[in-house]
Amino acid sequence: MNVIQADDVKKYFSHAGYGDEKVKAVDNVSLTVEDGEVVVICGPSGSGKSTFLRCINRIEDHIDHGDILFCDKSIYEIKRTELRKEIGMVFQSYNLFHHLTILDNVILGLVHVLKMNRKEAIDEAMVLLERVGVHDKAKNYPRELSGGQQQRVAICRSLAMKPKLILFDEPTSALDPEMIKEVLDVMRQLAQSGMTMIIVTHEIGFAKEVADRIIFFSDGKIIEQGTPLEIINSPKEKRTENFFRHVI
């Protein structure tokens, strides 16, 4: 089954001060992601990677052309609250609630969206926090954790909702080098557990090891896609080759 099927998606933005000229942030993107697949999206800054992810979970709620199906149903026919339960998202900037403890950050969705009772929610959250190695911080506030720990909590919060798919938008880009590994390790575990994931990242070593497929974006378009070996070691397109020459 396809978890995601994007058909000829276009997403344009108005260009302030440029009259009718539009920025083609996502342009003719068609892509399917199967159940259990791990897809990595790479590409230069401004190539539409974030916009595409934001369209999938309807943070960008309008597309200019095409359709996106989630488990064979148009995402526009699914209530946004339902869609958010099914599709988790992890951002570069963790986005934890700073006035809530780590535990309360993780149980928030369980209690308010999944309507679980607090005791059950805490039990589940503690299991997940243990899985990502931050259970000893349950009673702390986000500011008392390192960036890597906060990002692991953010992944935990996403996982708590038992999503069918998790989108990651440069989850390690804001982290100091020594913390990148601990976050990638959690993501690797998640991939091995069979989670369907779409990951925007420049961590090429990680992508090589974990991705079933790498998609290379440039100027809002998919330029090339294939296995990590095909895309990184023997790209067909000049733009792909240049990109990987610079990030490796």
Residues that bind ligand ADP (CB under 6 A): 13, 23, 25, 43, 45-51
Q: Distance between CA 60 and CA 223 in Å, rounded?
A: 23
**Shortest distance (Å) from residue 104 CB to ligand ADP:** 30
- How many residues are recorded in the chain? 248
**CA distance linking residue 73 with residue 94, whole number of Å:** 29
Minimal distance, residue 159 CB to ligand ADP, in Å: 23
> Is 42 or 102 the residue whose CB approaches ligand ADP more closely?
42
Rounded to the nearest whole angstrom, what is the least distance from the CB of residue 51 to Mg ion in the complex? 8
| Residues touching Mg ion, count (CB under 5 A) | 1
Q: Could you tell me the two tokens for 109?
A: 């969705």
Q: How far is the CB of 200 from Mg ion (least distance, A)?
A: 6
50 scored as a contact of Mg ion (CB under 5 A) = yes
**Which residue lies nearer to Mg ion by CB, 12 or 110?**
12
**Half-sphere CA count of 239, side-chain side, radius 13 A:** 14
* Stretch of 42-50, 103-111, 137-145, 158-166 lying at the interface with Mg ion (CB under 5 A): 42-50
Which residue, 50 or 201, has its beta carbon nearer to ligand ADP?
A: 50
Write a three-state SS string for 4-30.
EEEEEEEEEEECCCCCCCEEEEEEEEE
* Residue 91 or 141 with smaller CB distance to ligand ADP: 91
* Cβ-defined contacts of 221-227 (< 8 Å, 24+): 221/27, 221/28, 221/29, 221/48, 222/29, 222/30, 222/31, 223/43, 225/31
Please state whether beta strands 196-200 and 165-169 pair in parallel, antiparallel, or not at all (unpaired).
parallel
Nearest distance in Å: CB 46, Mg ion: 8
Backbone angles phi, psi at 44, to 5 degrees: -65, 165
Smaller CB distance to ligand ADP: residue 67 or 219?
Answer: 219
Q: Which one of Mg ion, ligand ADP, none interacts with residue 81, CB within 5 to 8 A by kind?
A: none
Q: Which stretch binds Mg ion (CB under 5 A): 10-18, 48-56, 73-81, 239-247?
A: 48-56
- The residue ranges that bind Mg ion (CB under 5 A) are 50
